Homo-oligomer: A and B are copies of this chain.
Amino acid sequence: MKWLNVLLIFLPIAVFLEVTHGSPTLIFLSAALAILPLAGIMGQATEQLAVRAGSTVGGLLNATFGNATELIIAFFALQAGKLEVVKASIIGSMLGNLLLVMGLAVFLGGLKYKEQRFNLKSATTVASLLAISVIALMIPTIFDLAARGITPARIEALDVNLSDATAVVLILVYLAYIYFTLVSHRDILSTADDPDAHDEHEGPLWSVPYAVGVLAAATIAVAFMSEFLVGTLDAATSALGLTEFFVGLILIPIIGNAAEHAAAVLFALRNKMDLSMTISLGSTVQVALLVAPLLVLAGLLVGQPMNLVVTPLELAAIGAAVVIAGSVVRDGETNWLEGLLLLAVYVILALAVFFYPLP
């Protein structure tokens, strides 16, 4: 994915535009484009450290930094009080992983191979975890929809209470999930033993100080770009004719996940569907069990209490995506038509989000 690094040119462009008070729309676009390669570099540096650290600590590093870009963007949006954008980006990240990434991987892989089979065992285990995690994450929304008719006045406070409690339970479950993946059942779920899992990171190992330095620099650069992105959000969306809902649900997740997306497609093109599936499913589990609850707790810290209540459209979309992904996975094999259908659902959902009226 080295060609992606060409986009690093947008890093100085974004800084130049910001310093010279250039057009907010151009700053927004430059920052967005600059984040794509930075996320890839963060992933690469983490991978290098992970190889040095040995498999358990390395796995932990990979798992924790895997969604770092999304977390950083969402954190700046949270601090700026754009709670609807934060929540939309959580849902959008899961939709993107389950429909766009899996859809692209299955479609493109399916054009090359007539049928792609994969080991059902790890894929269905992760699909099970996914269904349960997402349902747990959605309980505050269901509660809100169910309780809203009864006491509208008290519902805001109850939403925050239940969301905080849910976030704590989910983080505890995440710790158990990490223990499960890295210690107790690592032989089942780990893809570390598959030499192909690391193909793209071939070549000489980086020294530890160099890897740490690259990771730190890329993280800081992502942080600045995220601040630019959030700072120009209002001006850019109104100039581009987009809603914040569309930006949170569609644009930010595509920016934040691009590096992972490329990896899932690459594995599909090498007929390694297990790895491809595990990336899109596992990344979604991480968003549900770590990213979303961390943002709720971070909201308490920065004085922006955020609940986990999303719109009914988001609830329905995420439910549909989990059902569809589970249905594709339980097959045990994929073909291009399934990939095309996943992409079609993503396109129709994106159209629905595009048409969705502003409150």
Q: Which A residues fall within an 8 A CB radius of B?
A: 114-115, 124-125, 127-129, 131-133, 135-136, 139-140, 142-143, 145-147, 150-151, 154-155, 158, 161-162, 165-166, 169-170, 172-173, 176-177, 180, 184-185, 188, 311-313, 316-317, 320, 323-324, 326-328, 330-331, 335-338, 340-342, 344-345, 347-349, 351-352, 355-359
8 Å CB contact of A324 from B132, B316, B336: B132
Given contacts A128-B328, A327-B127, A357-B155, contact A351 B313 (CB under 8 A): no
Question: What are 12 sample pairs from A and B whose C-beta atoms fall under 8 A apart?
Answer: A125-B331, A127-B327, A128-B331, A132-B342, A135-B324, A136-B345, A139-B320, A142-B313, A142-B320, A146-B311, A166-B348, A185-B335
What CA separation (Å) do A80 and B331 show in the bound complex? 43
Nearest CB of B to A122, in Å: 11
- Is A356 in contact with B185, judged by CB distance below 8 angstroms? no
> 9 shortest A-B CB distances, which residue pairs?
A146-B313, A151-B357, A132-B341, A146-B312, A142-B316, A180-B337, A143-B352, A135-B320, A131-B327
The quantity of this chain's copies bound in the complex is 3
Nearest CB of B to A184, in Å: 7
- Is A338 in contact with B169, judged by CB distance below 8 angstroms? no
- Is B129 in contact with A337, judged by CB distance below 8 angstroms? yes
- Is A351 in contact with B184, judged by CB distance below 8 angstroms? no
- Is B337 in contact with A177, judged by CB distance below 8 angstroms? yes
What CA separation (Å) do A347 and B136 show in the bound complex? 10
Nearest CB of B to A333, in Å: 8
What CA separation (Å) do A335 and B124 show in the bound complex? 13
A115: B residues at CB distance < 8 A? 188
- Is B323 in contact with A147, judged by CB distance below 8 angstroms? no
Nearest CB of B to A352, in Å: 4
A330: B residues at CB distance < 8 A? 124, 330
A139: B residues at CB distance < 8 A? 320, 345, 348-349, 352
What CA separation (Å) do A262 and B131 show in the bound complex? 27
Nearest CB of B to A350, in Å: 10
Nearest CB of B to A155, in Å: 7
